[in-house]
A and B are shown apart, each in its own frame.
Chain A
Amino acid sequence: MASDTIALGMADEGARPIGERLHDWVVTVDHKKLGILYILYSLLMLVIGGVEATILRIQLIVPHNHFVSPQVFNRMFTMHGTTMIFFVAMPILFGFGTYLIPLMIGTRDMAFPRLNAFSFWMTAFGGLLLYFSFIGGNGLYGAGNAPDVGWFAYAPLTSRAFSPGHSTDFWTMALLVSGIGSIGTAVNFITTILCMRCPGMTLGKMPLLAWLNLITGGLVILAVSPLTAAQIMLAIDRYLGGHFFDTQAGGAAVLWMHFFWIFGHPEVYVLIIPCFAFASEIIPVFSRKPIFGYPVMVGATVAIGFISMSVWAHHMFTVGMSSYGNSFFTATTMVIAVPTGIKIFNWIGTMWGGKIQFRAPMLFCIAFLFQFLIAGLTGIMLGASPFNWQLGNSYFVVAHFHYVIVGGILFTVFGAFYYWFPKMSGRMYNETLAKWHFWLFLIGFHLTFDFMHVPGMLGMPRRIYTYEPGRGWDIWNLIVTVGVFFQATGVLVFVANLLWSLWRGEPAGNDPWDAWTLEWSTTSPPPDYNFATIPVVESRRPLWDIKHPEDPDWKYE
């Protein structure tokens, strides 16, 4: 019955004029359309942020290079960081969450569909504000256009005296506006997951993706709100002549650091926990085993959520805190490695003895396991305050957090892309191209970010626009930049695969992976109403129960 309705719907779709169909996308409150809008928006921003990164790396390929001016270099690293965190990583993860949560918990939409649309458009508007600075940033003659204060915009660099013109204001407003959008999304995630689950889906039977996004929602509420508050203070300083971060009037530059990193560190977990969620859905399906240690997974994530609120000042060891401060934040940083380690053991436990299928989503997740482990180990190194005094603000730090963000987050996002692409588009992607993407990106990633640790240990500071030859940094910088081109080629293959599969891919069917969660029980792409009848579940793997009525999961859970 359901499939007839969809066929009719599709026939209608083809007949309607393109303007009307585009208008549908603008006014939509449907979580699937909004999810796809989030993802497309982030992909566009990913390309822009990637171009900025490429400019940075071309400038650093040889010493004394003149590819861009120092001023442009400063703008590029500021825009690259801000874009990648706020307008690529967060919206793409929110996009997957918005698309998948209602489908996975068996409901027809988010709890507040209009708030959902509002949140997306606020995020989109925030990105527009940020990039409008290229046009509107010149408030004064000689003032720069795009913001150039770095992505964490330390005081007093952001004061009127050091940042004339409007560039920093655009940065502030972009983050304020998109922050409001993020809080709206978090309210929606939490409310949807707590109040909209289908009958039978108790908290203990939710898919891990829902569980982990619930915790992410809580972290967004607690982390993004302080950033919003700090941006209001910065705006008061810049527009109304306030003194929050004005050291000349007794204000404290260090207070801004605290406020920023109270946001900044939980933000890392806001980004990585949804990626843990992807891994927790993909690895079991391609290992043909249920997830190992479901309650421990949930508990470890809750623990990460709590501890992540108390580690922020490990970004500030080089500022000079008291020995108690240093010891406390070193200790909490060590402690947070424990639940994270538990999760890695659980994923390996899931793969252990499974019939592993090395399809593209699984390859990306396996790479994630290795890379995230290494990123965590360098994190423990940097979390030890004496070590941090030596290598803080060096390329070692840059290498470490790119290992987390690219090696951990971006890899799982690519995995999630290939895993859910058939559901979202109704078509299979091309496996050969996907494997090309994987290997090119893997080689590029390791060329760039493995070798980036070395100049850091040799003393190369971050954010320098050029360097002297003969310090032993030259060859490493060359290798790092060469890796960028491998990564860029990989992303091009990915985009080509996406476009090709959208038009020419084979029809995927409802359940191409023989998976177990509810989104695979409806058609691909799902109809507007998701489920003709609201499902009832009895275990964590409702589709397993249907496929194996002789041996259902609920007997054992």
Chain B
Amino acid sequence: MSSATLTRSSNEPVWALPSRGRVGMFTLIAAESAVFTIFVVAYIYYIGKSLSGPMPKDLLELPVFSTVCLLSSSLTIHLAVRALRQAKVGVFGLWWFLTMALGTIFLVSTGREWHHLIYEKGLTISTNLFGTTYYSLVGLHAFHVTVGLLAIALAMVFTLLGKVKPEHSERLDIFSLYWHFVDVVWVIVFTVVYVIGR
């Protein structure tokens, strides 16, 4: 069979399909959302069901500073990618570094909070249902922040080596979707754990 007939020129306009990276990332985010949904449902279902203390209201304080840091990092990563698209590699590096710093502050404050809860308040993952659901949900989110930070750090290393060029802005833009997703999840976790659950 001749394949020539299959390539008969078509009079339709230019054949354009969505970007693979973008669709792939949105699909991954959908899967991750489903995972988080199950953890959030478990958290809400078990609010107030612990048979023994300590209870959330005795222990949890609103992590306002770290929340502000994490949420601002969504803005800085956006500004970073915009700078790279405009070929301002130096500005990009600055914003990118700030994103990394803000993410790290968030992770460190989660670590300090956990240290406080474990060593001073004696709440571990096996203490009661609150401990189990709290460390699982916040930990799952912190794990996602860690993965994101590793990726950001990798891109930072490439930036310092001078390998990041404006043509990489599309890829970093797709990555930033993941980072925004992690931030949105934090808004939900914050609301459920620190507002509703307390």
Contacts and interface: CB of A to CB of B under 8 A. Distances in A.
Main secondary structure of the interface of A (DSSP, over half): helix
Contact of B125 (A232, A236, A522, A534): A236
A518 B3 CA distance: 11
Interface residues on B, range: 35 or more
Contact of A536 (B9, B34, B133): B9
A538 B10 contact: yes
Interface string B44-65: 0110011100000000000000
A250 B129 contact: yes
B132 A236 contact: yes
Interface stretch (B21-29, B114-122, B151-159): B21-29
A2 B7 CA distance: 14
A255 B44 CA distance: 12
A195 B18 contact: yes
Interface string A111-122: 110000000000
B30 to A, nearest CB: 5
Contacts of A187: 24, 27-28, 31
A472 interface: no
A200 B10 CA distance: 8
B23 A191 contact: yes
Contact of B10 (A221, A243, A536): A536
B27 A191 contact: yes
A255 B38 CA distance: 10
Contacts of A233: 38-39, 42, 136
Contact of A194 (B8, B12, B18): B18
B95 to A, nearest CB: 28
Among A229, A251, A549, chain B packs the most CB atoms within 10 A around the CB of A229
Interface of B: 1, 3, 5-10, 12, 15, 17-20, 23-24, 27-28, 30-39, 42, 45-46, 49-51, 125-126, 128-129, 132-133, 136, 140
Interface of A: 2, 111-112, 183, 186-188, 190-191, 194-197, 199-200, 217, 221-222, 224-226, 228-230, 232-233, 236-237, 240-244, 249-252, 255, 259, 262, 510-511, 518, 521-522, 531-538, 542, 546, 549
21 contacts: A2-B3, A186-B31, A187-B24, A191-B20, A194-B17, A194-B18, A196-B17, A197-B17, A200-B10, A221-B31, A221-B34, A236-B125, A240-B126, A242-B125, A244-B136, A250-B50, A255-B45, A535-B7, A538-B10, A546-B1, A546-B5
Given A240-B125, A521-B3, A546-B5, 10 more contacts: A111-B20, A190-B27, A196-B17, A232-B140, A233-B38, A236-B132, A241-B126, A250-B46, A250-B128, A549-B5
